[in-house]
Amino acid sequence: MTITHHARGELLGKALIMFVGLLLVSLLIIFAIEPSIYTTTLWPGWVPASRYPWPVLLFLGALIAFLGMLMYGVLHHWRWLFWGILIAWTSSVIQIPVEGLQLLGVFPNPYPVWYSLFRGGAGFIELGFAFWMIQTYQHQGVWAMGRKKAEQVSHLVRTELGLFEYRCVGQGPAVLVLNGGHTNCHSPLGHEAFFLAQGYQLIIPSRPGYSRTPSSTGKRAEAFADALMSLLDLLQLDQVIVVGISAGGPTALQLAGRHPERVSKVILQNAATDGRYASGMIRFLTYLFFNPVLEGMVWAAFRRFGRVAPQAALKSLMWGLTCLPIDQVLSAMSPDQQQAALAFLQASRSGSGFLHDIHHHCGDLGRVRVPVLVITSKYDGLVDPSHAVYVEKHIPQAQLFISEAESHLMWFSIHNHEIQARMQVFLHS
């Protein structure tokens, strides 16, 4: 009969809880029959007036509480506890020979022989558990819950115009992807599989202020557009297709307007363009919650929320991304799409990047002469379709496609295949 990874994790957890429970009972028995062991542990040489002094009682109470918390944490598979137990019990490799040397009289031994034998035996068991945990982690991850997917490899390069973190994947004509707010080059890219299937190479930089690309590389959209030229030069790319997503839209348009010879086409996906994106409430919430001091705690709290109540967490963020009732949006998504959307949002970090984004402008669109496909979600609650209409009116070769996608996250919609079909026609035209 095959034992599943989950069953292996449960077996390890039950064995640990049983051992800690037996350890707890043993400590109580030792306290009952030989309390002087505890006084020797706390204060060597101290002879208390009573058999059960109150400092020892307090120490035993704290020890019981600690072991109780240990069992609770094992039962609930606390990740940090896995590593704490592993490190502590691996140290038994030192404790065991020390106990042996004390029994042989090499080192002074303040404890009875039977207690030293007990400690040595417990050390052997702890060391066995440590090896078991190492084997479990190597094959099935922490608590046999599965290994975390390896983070995609990024590169960090310095050019004459700044430091860049970027990810490169695929082979073929180059597509420069400018991700939206709260994302970086490691963030899940909704249409990555689509572009790779079409035979393109994706160059995905972290925009300034996000992940390892510093703000000094270009706080303003036009500054980062100019800096990107040095990255393209380093990668020996004469011309690229540019994809601007959400808050990455202004940089995409600045790039096409300021360096038209390096851009062949532009695709905008729910891109902020006309300067009204960061007005009012968005600007206020950005300074309040997504400043560099608090944003890490805000997103960490959301990730914790997502683990405890994934559906509620998804609803809490979707309310600002759609004009439709939340339940209607979620009911239109498949379970896989809901899971992917939650994973996308849980991977978010703001750094100082979003503080820059709210001040970005797309510049003089009259300078943009390359073909531009403007895709907008009809029910986007964050960047309404007026942004796409603005681009269509000001760029001669702009093509507008209004999707029935239910939210700002157009990739997680039943209408995504229509978006991909429209991009395919545009790319090959």
Report the chain (429 residues): mean pLDDT per 10 consecutive residues: 54 90 91 85 77 84 90 86 87 82 84 87 90 81 64 85 96 97 92 95 97 96 97 97 97 97 98 71 83 88 90 92 95 92 91 93 94 97 92 95 97 96 96
Task: Tell me the pTM.
Answer: 0.68
The three-state secondary structure class of 88 is helix
Specify the fold of 155-427.
Answer: Rossmann fold (3.40.50)
pLDDT at 260: 96
Q: Give the separation between CA 3 and CA 28, rounded to whole angstroms.
A: 36
Residue spans per domain, the chain: 5-144, 155-427
**Residue among 181, 386, 206, 391 at smallest CA distance from 283:** 181
pLDDT at 107: 84
Contact (Cβ atoms closer than 8 angstroms) between residue 20 and residue 70: yes
Strands in 263-269's sheet, in edge-to-edge order, are 155-159, 162-169, 201-205, 174-178, 240-245, 263-269, 372-377, 398-403
Going through 208-312 in order, the beta strands assigned E by DSSP cover 240-245, 263-269
Amino acid in position 337 = Q
Paired tokens of 184: 């970086």
The three-state secondary structure class of 265 is strand
pLDDT at 36: 84
Own/partner pairs, 336-344, CB within 8 angstroms, 24+ separation: 337/412, 337/413, 338/311, 338/314, 338/412, 340/188, 340/411, 340/412, 341/314, 341/409, 341/412, 342/306, 342/310, 342/313, 342/314, 343/188, 344/187, 344/188, 344/190, 344/409, 344/412
pLDDT at 251: 97
Residue ranges of alpha helices (H) inside 259-411 are: 281-289, 295-308, 310-318, 326-332, 335-346, 353-357, 386-394
For residue 264, what is the DSSP state?
A: E
Task: Find the distance separating the first CA and the last CA of the chain, reported in whole Å.
Answer: 57
CB neighbour burial string for 194-208, b if at least 16 within 10 angstroms, e if fewer: bbbebebbbbbbbbb
